[in-house]
Structure 1
Amino acid sequence: MGRVFSTDQVPPQERLAYWHEVICRTFIQLDDEQAGGGAFRGQVRDRDIGPLQATRILTDPMTAERGSRHPRSLEEPLCLLAVQLHGRTIAQQDGRQAILLPGDLTLFDGTRPYRVDFQGRHFDHLVLRFPRTALEERGIDTGAVTVRRIALDSALGRLVTPFLLNVVQAADTVDPETGERLAGMSLDLIATALASVSGVERPPASPGEELLRRVRLYIGLHLSDPQLAPPKVAAAHNISLRQLHRLFARAGTTFGRWVREERLNRCREELGDPRLAGLPIAEIGARWGFPDASSLSRSFRARYGVSPREHRRAAAVDLSST
């Protein structure tokens, strides 16, 4: 479970100083924070997902600024991807300005000066913090993409924003290995979205890597099909069964193992989702390609050591205790 910091237990006259200390200690060094009138309120929730640190920030209207006085050599180069959830933000960095509305995304380079004005009666956003090298390795020049708005109503915004929110929601219900994989998928999507607003193209993948990417995407879109099998996938991509199995072998897995893992991951996420608490377990399994409750139960217990029902019950207890 992640950490939670709140101003609610702090005397009103000390809240802004406490908030500044919390942000600087757990998030990033800032030079100045100014709040509007009245008793300031704010809350920070953070958790780790592989190399990603996910921080949920809820606050009253305020302004935060990072200047140029922090020695870059003493800090790990970090990037911050902001996902606006509620309210309105005016973001500034590298001579650019963006106005963010709910669902919009933008990137900050954590080593350079920036300013954010959080507006609205209440402000809520999610920030994903990760090493700058994670984007550089994916062919992104961060200096070209800071504070470029990726709108929720854009093609990539509609894909990336819900995916990132679902990953963060699932963070407490997946094992570390799955968390690492979800983080990698998140960074791939983030890089793709950033490339789309900068004109920077990612380095071309090898033919084998590109084919595996397309095969995995196809599988992900057809996990609900209980008849999903190698011949069907191979035919959809005009390759032989031998080529298909070789693709997965080069990635260190097998077709069957990868499909089973993806299906179990989806089931585990939905079993831990309180919004789906009324959905029968068998129906969740059927949504992801398990023909009946018993086949889901056997696979689930073999993978996670508990039954689907036990996992759902434990997730509900964890949620009620937070």
Structure 2
Amino acid sequence: MGRVLSTEQVAPRDRIAYWHEVICSTFIKLDVAQTGGGSFRGMVRDHHVGPIRATRIVTDPMTAERSRRHLRAAEEDVCLLALQLNGRTIGHQDGRRAVLRPGDLALFDSRRPYLVDFQGPRFDHLVLQFPRAALRERGIEPDGATAHRIAVDSMIGRLVSPFIVNATRVADAASPETGERLAEMALDLIATALAPFGGLDRPPTAPGEELPHRVRLYMQLHLSDPCLSPPKVAAAHSISLRQLHRLFAREGTTFGRWLREERLRRCFDDLAAPRLAGRSIAEIGARWGMPDAPGLSRAFRARYGMSPREHRAAALAAPGTPPPTARPEGGPLRTCGGSV
């Protein structure tokens, strides 16, 4: 289980002061105030999902404010994604106002003032904290993405909210490798959800573009599955194999080529990451659905013009080295169902 801190541990007269310390040590520097009557109650439970800190907060009605005073001495450079579980939250940042009900999501940025009003009678909230850089690496500028409500009944909300809740539930029992993988998936999903507000997205997709978008997102979430195959993806979207292959043909590619490119790109990034330097090349390949180490090496060399080992050595010796020029892609990707 994760760390648990509760006001039940202290006398009623000391609870507000104690709660302020809990909030500031768990999240970022904030001013908190009770908005209801009676003896205040609050509890936080921490989990770690890879580099993401996930905190469940159950509390009586309160407000939390990040003011300019906090920013002057701030060392934090994080974003906070709020997922409402019970009660209601009204969040304000950057001139926007988001009203969250159970299942809804919104982003807040530690680098600018914000105010959140946690309404009850009993408030239940899940907050994910992660570096701002994690969004910027995914093409999202947090400044434009804050305090926008992502509704639980929207297409992306139906995907993101349950995934985050379930990933947090299994975090304590998961291996570090699984935690890292879940975190990458969660951050990719969050970036996708924020894209319409943060500058990544094109104008709203036309009706004919929605299905390809959903198919690609599904495949990105299942890259770690070495048995990901056209029949499995087609069945998940209630379409025929012919329809599925047509979607990729319209973009000038194939199912197998697109899948191989995505997997190799993730392996390329992981092999250059200092935090993953202790993992073998085979482990990184398996992490992204390419458990056949010789096959990974051949595909990697065909794509990038060097072996995985050579790329890792160059990247870790000289961080910031630009990626090599890609060669024409190699042969077919092998999956559990054969070539695709």
TM-score bin, normalised by smaller chain: 0.5 to 0.7
TM-score, structure 1 length as denominator? 0.67
Matched, 1:144 2:147: no
For 1:216, the aligned partner's letter is M
Deviations 1:93-116 (A, max 9, x none): 111111111100000001211111
2:110 counterpart residue number: 110
1:126 counterpart residue number: 126
1:14, 1:182 → 2: CA distance? 38
SS in 2 for 1:194: helix
1:64 counterpart residue number: 64
Number of aligned residues: 251
2:37 counterpart residue number: 37
The alpha-carbon deviation at position 216 of structure 1 amounts to 3.2
SS in 2 for 1:76: coil
Instruction: Note closer, same or farther for the CA distance 1:21–1:255 as it changes in structure 2 (3 Å cut).
Output: closer
Equivalent of residue 289 in structure 2, options 252, 255, 258:
258
The alpha-carbon deviation at position 71 of structure 1 amounts to 4.0
1:216 counterpart residue number: 219
CA contact (8 A) 2:90 2:99 kept: yes
The alpha-carbon deviation at position 214 of structure 1 amounts to 6.7
1:194 counterpart residue number: 194
TM-score, structure 2 length as denominator? 0.64
SS in 2 for 1:258: coil
2:111, 2:77 → 1: CA distance? 6
Instruction: Note closer, same or farther for the CA distance 1:178–1:8 as it changes in structure 2 (3 Å cut).
Output: same
SS in 1 for 2:107: strand
2:266, 2:109 → 1: CA distance? 32
SS in 2 for 1:160: helix
The alpha-carbon deviation at position 218 of structure 1 amounts to 9.2
1:81 counterpart residue number: 81
SS in 1 for 2:76: coil
2:171 counterpart residue number: 171
1:300 counterpart residue number: none
2:31, 2:221 → 1: CA distance? 47
Instruction: Note closer, same or farther for the CA distance 1:18–1:188 as it changes in structure 2 (3 Å cut).
Output: same
1:64, 1:51 → 2: CA distance? 24
Report matched runs for 1:220-231 at 5 Å.
none
For 1:125, the aligned partner's letter is H
2:182 counterpart residue number: 182
SS in 1 for 2:64: strand
Instruction: Note closer, same or farther for the CA distance 1:194–1:260 as it changes in structure 2 (3 Å cut).
Output: same
Give ranges in structure 1 of 5+ residues lacking alignment: 204-209, 262-289, 291-322
2:74, 2:38 → 1: CA distance? 36
Give ranges in structure 2 of 5+ residues lacking alignment: 203-212, 234-240, 268-283, 293-335
Deviations 1:147-201 (A, max 9, x none): 00001111111111001111111111211111111101101110110113x1622
Instruction: Note closer, same or farther for the CA distance 1:28–1:97 as it changes in structure 2 (3 Å cut).
Output: same
The alpha-carbon deviation at position 134 of structure 1 amounts to 0.6
CA contact (8 A) 2:222 2:228 kept: no
1:15, 1:122 → 2: CA distance? 17
For 2:219, the aligned partner's letter is R
Instruction: Note closer, same or farther for the CA distance 1:199–1:21 as it changes in structure 2 (3 Å cut).
Output: closer
2:96, 2:156 → 1: CA distance? 21
2:63, 2:93 → 1: CA distance? 14
Instruction: Note closer, same or farther for the CA distance 1:228–1:69 as it changes in structure 2 (3 Å cut).
Output: closer
Matched, 1:90 2:121: no
Instruction: Note closer, same or farther for the CA distance 1:175–1:202 as it changes in structure 2 (3 Å cut).
Output: farther
For 2:41, the aligned partner's letter is R
- The percent of aligned pairs where both chains have the same amino acid is 54
2:310 counterpart residue number: none
1:27 counterpart residue number: 27
1:51, 1:256 → 2: CA distance? 16
2:80, 2:149 → 1: CA distance? 13
